[in-house]
Amino acid sequence: MLGRLRSRAEDLYEQVLTAELEETPTHVAVIQDGNRRYASKQGADPSEGHRAGAGTTEAFLDWCDELGIQEVTLYTFSTENFQRSPEEREALFDLIEEKLREFADSDRIHQGEVRINAIGQLDRLPERLRDTIAYAHDRTAEYDEMQVNIALAYGGRAELLEAARKIARDVDAGEREPAAVDVEVVEEALYEGPKHDVDLILRSGGDERTSNFLPWRANGNEAAVCFSAPYWPEFRKIDFLRAIRTYEHREESRRQTRARRAKALVQALGDTARSAGEEHLDRGATAANADGDDDRPADRTDVDPAD
């Protein structure tokens, strides 16, 4: 009985949160943390936690589709994850390969015209997984309604370092002038795939850090960040809607800040214009006095106009 009441209350709360949404982010980046801790809490192997987390990921993509979010980036396997035991790594690679093929062949992916893309140091992955990535990409390459980026063997510093080396090679070869290196050049050198800057970074599992995730596309855009307590397998739509509310508050704060700055700028320009006008009038008055006879003021009434 208590469980049914709690479930009903959550449903109602979810409806309220959904109704209150005024805008949604274009690009959401997710750090799916807490799978192993969830498994430990259940007394299960880490692989069971990863599989439970994969179920949440599928549901999460459905929520994004419902809310009209155009792009999602999933932090699925970081460069630091290579330090895990060979057994856990292989189990993860098996799961990622399985889910990627399921996605690539899923009716809902094709009906929703979802494009699947992978970013990271893909050459570090097993050949079988690289083949699956290519399969998923080719199956969905023509779609553009929604894009899902899978970050595999990904690290933000590694991405920026590779971009810097690529630009340096172009400069060294005489193909680019150093002074011509600007924001657009750097963005072209980053991993191919993401189409939009990140609006919201979401991390489950309670840790309050972004773990080297999309530093150029997120921090440069001043993305909103939401840290959520539930482990990823326990993450609910309510938690996602709360995260979007964080994004909305961030956007409102940014709009208010921009409005204050614009008002201050207009006021400063007005003050400058008034000051310049007063200075101009003062100069005019000084010049008029210099042209006249100091001993015979222009407003004397005892002067005969005929003189």
Residues marked as catalytic: 33, 81
CA–CA separation, 223 and 225 (whole Å): 6
33 touches 228 (CB < 8 A): no
CA–CA separation, 21 and 67 (whole Å): 10
Q: Which amino acid is at 116?
A: I
151 touches 75 (CB < 8 A): yes
Q: Which amino acid is at 73?
A: T
CA–CA separation, 187 and 293 (whole Å): 70
